């Protein structure tokens, strides 16, 4: 089990919109929070199982400060 951070909000049509913070360019939607989380999980499965061109990711870099 892996924990993933995500950002979400309610759209003007009442649907919940959201994205995985590691993949901020790729939004999905759901009728409720449970539905949105399922769609976000599907995105993660797809993005982590295939080498898809154009998928931008966010990661951390640790550097030594002099």
* Domains in the chain: ranges and CATH: 1-66 (3.30.160)
Record the pTM.
0.81
pLDDT of residue 53: 86
- Rounded Cα distance between 35 and 18, Å, is 11
pLDDT of residue 59: 84
- Shortest CA distance to 43 belongs to which of 12, 4, 10, 16? 4
Mean pLDDT of 13-38: 96
Rounded to the nearest integer, the mean pLDDT of the chain is: 93
Which helix or strand (DSSP H or E) is residue 10 part of? strand 6-10
pLDDT of residue 45: 93
Q: What angle do CA 53, 56, 57 make, to 5 degrees?
A: 130
Binned at pLDDT 50, 70 and 90, residue 58 comes out as confident
Mean pLDDT of 42-56: 87
Q: Are 43 and 26 in contact (CB under 8 A)?
A: yes
């Amino acid at each position: 089990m892996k924990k993933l951070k995500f950002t979400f909000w309610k759209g003007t049509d009442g649907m919940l919109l959201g994205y995985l913070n590691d993949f901020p360019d790729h939004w999905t939607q759901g009728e409720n929070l449970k539905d949105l989380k399922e769609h976000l999980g599907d995105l993660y499965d797809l993005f982590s199982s295939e080498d898809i061109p154009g998928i931008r990711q966010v990661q951390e870099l640790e550097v030594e400060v002099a």
